[in-house]
Amino acid sequence: MIDIGSFLNARLAGGFVIADIRLSGKRLVDAIGREALAQTTIVGTRFNLVLWAGMDEGERSVTIYHEILEAAAVASALPPASVAEFNEGDFERAAREMHDRFGAATPEKLNQMLRQFGLTE
């Protein structure tokens, strides 16, 4: 089972920090009004995540991988070529691959993923 609290204040490769992470029972929407599984706000190098509480553990893990990889790519002053041209579908495929390869998301596994994509300390 994913321990959401273990991500709070987690230091990530690339100098990022998960400043806040929480579950919401309310349905989430993205910037253009589509239903979403998560919302991430980026303030400098700090990420604030809200995850829809209705997901199963596997989807929650994939969503965490996705949100962190996308946030790190967006927040990087010069994102690595490996993610610079990613679109939403690319982030989703990468997140599913990371979940399949590493298992349920943890802060340590997020760092493995970020380093693999060239987002380093």
Domain boundaries, the chain: 4-116
Q: pLDDT value at position 1?
A: 83
With a cut of 70, say whether residue 117 has pLDDT above it. yes
Closest-CA residue to 119 (of 19, 60, 41, 47): 47
The pTM assigned to this predicted structure is: 0.95
Amino acid occupying residue 115? R
For residue 97, count CB atoms less than 10 angstroms from its CB and return exposed for 0-12, middle for 13-18, buried for 19 or more. Answer: middle
Other residues' Cβ atoms within 10 Å of the Cβ of residue 112: 14
Q: pLDDT value at position 121?
A: 62
Q: What tens digit of pLDDT does each residue of 12-45 get?
A: 999 999 999 999 999 899 888 889 999 999 999 9
Q: What tens digit of pLDDT does each residue of 87-101 get?
A: 999 999 999 999 999
Three-class HEC string of the chain: CCCHHHHCCEEECCCEEEEEEEEECCCEECCCCCEECEEEEEECCEEEEEEECCCCHHHHHHHHHHHHHHHHHHHCCCCCHHHHCCCHHHHHHHHHHHHHHHCCCCHHHHHHHHHHCCCCC
